[in-house]
Structure 1
Amino acid sequence: MAPSLLRLATRYNTIGARLLHNTGKVASSSALPNIQSAAIQKTLTTEPKPLVAKEKLLFGHTFSDHMLTVDWTRKGGWQKPQIIPYGPLSIDPSASVLHYAFECFEGLKAYRDAKGNIRLFRPDKNMTRMNSSVERLYLPQFDGAEAIECIKELVRTDQRWVPDGKGYSLYIRPTVIATENTLGVHAANSAKLFVITSPCGPYFPTGFKAVSLYCDETNVRAWPGGVGNRKLGANYAPSVAPQAAAEKKGYQQILWTIGEDHELMEVGTMNLFVYWKNEQGELELVTPPLDGTILPGVTRDSILELARSWGGIKVSERKVNMKQVAKASDEGRLLEVFGAGTACVVTPVNRIHFQGKDYVIPLDPAKPESQAGPLAARVYDTLTGIQYGEIESDWSVLVD
């Protein structure tokens, strides 16, 4: 082998070995401490902020009095959790999160029921997914049950910020970032988990109303072998420009597809569901499968479980493409399309633009004034009923 080729092969082998190391699981040692909720230390604010009237709340614009932080080092493991006044993080300009996007996050909510109790919705699912995200970034994993107890204590501390009334909640944003102050793409030796909370009203100011979608045939949200199934910050920034372009065309959200057949992926930042009469004549609720490109949404999983328990329709996780949706629309078989996620719960879709044509999603013929079809409405009513304690379920976890 020529010297230049030998050097090139050696370089690629070195890079390959480094990538294999960096994508492996972070070794956990029983000698290193994990997150321990019993060790929480509190420093409460001396200047509580005034509450904002719930009718004036905008999603992600108002933040409560306190935050939770937990530091980690490769040598020392997880340190004692701290509940401190909400404020700026002290971070070195060379921290790897600022240069190489070593960052992942979660989103869940606290709800106040009619009796004043505060509830979380399936927080174990969020912690499982977050551990999957940090593993992919070669950041430290943690005890999910202990992290939930820490989050509960943060919510108790700021319970006055949990608004009452259906449609209102306290949004909870856990985040993990790499904080090591060294340039270079390598496994981080220090990290921080922090949790902030934000009281919010309905995600869409217009309320439970249908949105229009623009099928983007140029940009791709995720790809096989990528990180579309993890909740990494790096997945979201590239979606802003295509979203803005769709809005300029008169559509509210992006419909993400992939490949020459335009296989459906997600809608905006939500999982996607199609309810139709399939070509075999069956009523079917279908959503793209978790093939590595789709985020395993907590709401997505909940909808699938509910629909299967209700019976009466076929529930499928399988690939479906936009040409099949267009054909179903032309043949009158397309019944409903909706997005689903923590922030919005369910968002009905009223039309999809694809290759120069708008495909209109029919309204519920029994309720022409409604923005949602009967299945989306049933899903929304059931999930919110569980979240606000109106329907008994193991998915609803009491905080106090």
Structure 2
Amino acid sequence: MNQSISLLRQSLNTASRRFHTTSSSLSSQRCRRQYSIHVDAANASKLAELDSRKLSITKTTTPKELLPAEELVFGRNFTDHMLSVEWTASEGWLAPRITPYQNLSLDPATCVFHYAFECFEGMKAYKDTTGNIRLFRPDKNMERFNKSSARIALPTFNSESLIDLIGQFCKLEERFIPSPRGYSLYLRPTMIGTQRTLGVGPPGSALLYVIASPVGPYYPTGFKAVSLEATDYAVRAWPGGVGDKKLGANYAPCIVPQMEAASRGFHQNLWLFGEEEYITEVGTMNLFVALKDKKTGQNELITAPLDGTILEGVTRDSVLGIARERLEPEGWKVTERKCTMKELAEAADEGRMLEVFGAGTAAVVSPVRKISWKGSTVECGLSEGTEAGPIAQRMKDWIEGIQYGEEPENPWSVKLN
């Protein structure tokens, strides 16, 4: 596989060179544009690995003023610095840098603009009650980041090295991490293809960068249940596609259906798939359903299986892990299986529906009050005046307790030294 990609890169770059005149080549040599590199065919016998020991840091001379915690809006304000690492097919990973937050300089022909060579992650840094900085399961984010990158022919990296770099970045930006429970520093690792070419092929250069935004609770008005519109006229992902990878290309096509749902008074889409109308995701989160089994009466917590149509959510995996550890001893059955919208509607009609909630990094869990489906309303187990069911509330409390270091020995909470 790697040999095939290398041959394809060589073929692509050989063809690209044929279309460049000698004068343009000399011009390129004189002026190498930052973050937008034209790469010759790969010829290195061993490419450099990502090495956190080579990090250089240039601090800003104009530090920003901190916003009051109550004024923080998710993803609107950013810290003083950014972490960036360039990669080329001929050299591998170059030395990582932390620099003042700045614009990128990219040629109009850069491949990310034309063929969507872009993937990203969403994770957070927290402060515990003693002032330590903590990351929540960063190994899972790095594992998914590498899977996403490999799927679109971008380079992979050593996970431990990137975690170390992100840790150093977080310590430099420590003053931006709010202390109160419910507040955090949202981290956005991103990778883009940066080769200047309109040819379709694996990029010969890439940029990995990390920016950060201090954030408050995802729900400014409190922990509120949302309403969903079951969406069968548009598909988020399909088997064999890239719905299980965190690619920017997965998100833009979902905005119009979300706007249509909002115009009808709903907060998010519930994405259905196929003639069977299998439940997949809710908005940009994984979905969990708690109901009583029709035959046995046993409480069951259900989420869709990892069949390629849903994202491998870190919060999803955390809910499953905690449920198997703490709910199964209480008699719950925890399953990853296909579940149809019809099954949900029947459970609601028969009084077996307990609760429904989404799970994701931004909100941890998001309780669901009702779902609009085929002109009818499916009630999701919440009584009037109740904003969250007991399982959603317990999951939120359990996961946040780990994130903020209230379970200091829990391996999911990584304290930065």
Return the TM-score normalized by structure 2. 0.88
Per-residue deviation at 1:170?
0.1
Query: Where does residue 96 of structure 1 map in the other structure?
Result: 111
Query: Where does residue 13 of structure 1 map in the other structure?
Result: none
Query: Where does residue 413 of structure 2 map in the other structure?
Result: 396
Q: How does 1:1-400 map to 2 (within 5 A)?
A: 31-280=46-295, 281-310=297-326, 311=328, 312-363=331-382, 369-392=385-408, 393-400=410-417
Percent identity of the aligned residues? Answer: 54
Deviations, residues 320-348 of structure 1 (Å, cap 9, x unaligned): 00001001000000100000000110000
Query: Where does residue 4 of structure 1 map in the other structure?
Result: none
Within 2, Cα distance between the matches of 1:110 and 1:200? 10
Deviations, residues 256-315 of structure 1 (Å, cap 9, x unaligned): 010111100000000000000022222100000000111000000010011011112000
Amino acid at match of 2:250: N
Within 2, Cα distance between the matches of 1:126 and 1:284? 28
> Secondary structure of the equivalent of 1:244?
helix
Within 2, Cα distance between the matches of 1:204 and 1:94? 40
> Secondary structure of the equivalent of 2:223?
coil
Within 2, Cα distance between the matches of 1:254 and 1:369? 23
Distance change (3 Å), C-alpha of 1:356 and 1:369? closer
Within 2, Cα distance between the matches of 1:204 and 1:360? 22
> Secondary structure of the equivalent of 1:325?
helix
> Secondary structure of the equivalent of 1:133?
helix
Deviation >6 Å, runs of 4+: none
Per-residue deviation at 1:369?
4.4
Amino acid at match of 2:320: L
Partners of 2:348 and 2:381 within 8 A in 1: no
Amino acid at match of 1:71: E
Per-residue deviation at 1:203?
1.6
> Secondary structure of the equivalent of 1:371?
coil
> Secondary structure of the equivalent of 1:213?
strand
Query: Where does residue 14 of structure 2 map in the other structure?
Result: none
Per-residue deviation at 1:390?
1.1
Within 1, Cα distance between the matches of 2:363 and 2:378? 23
Return the TM-score normalized by structure 1. 0.91
Within 1, Cα distance between the matches of 2:150 and 2:83? 21
Per-residue deviation at 1:30?
7.8
Amino acid at match of 1:376: A
Deviations, residues 4-43 of structure 1 (Å, cap 9, x unaligned): xxxxxxxxxxxxx99x979xxxx9x882111111110011
Partners of 2:85 and 2:96 within 8 A in 1: yes
Within 1, Cα distance between the matches of 2:385 and 2:343? 28
Alpha-carbon RMSD: 1.7
Query: Where does residue 10 of structure 1 map in the other structure?
Result: none
Distance change (3 Å), C-alpha of 1:176 and 1:351? same
Per-residue deviation at 1:181?
0.5
Structure 1 unaligned regions, length at least 5:
1-16
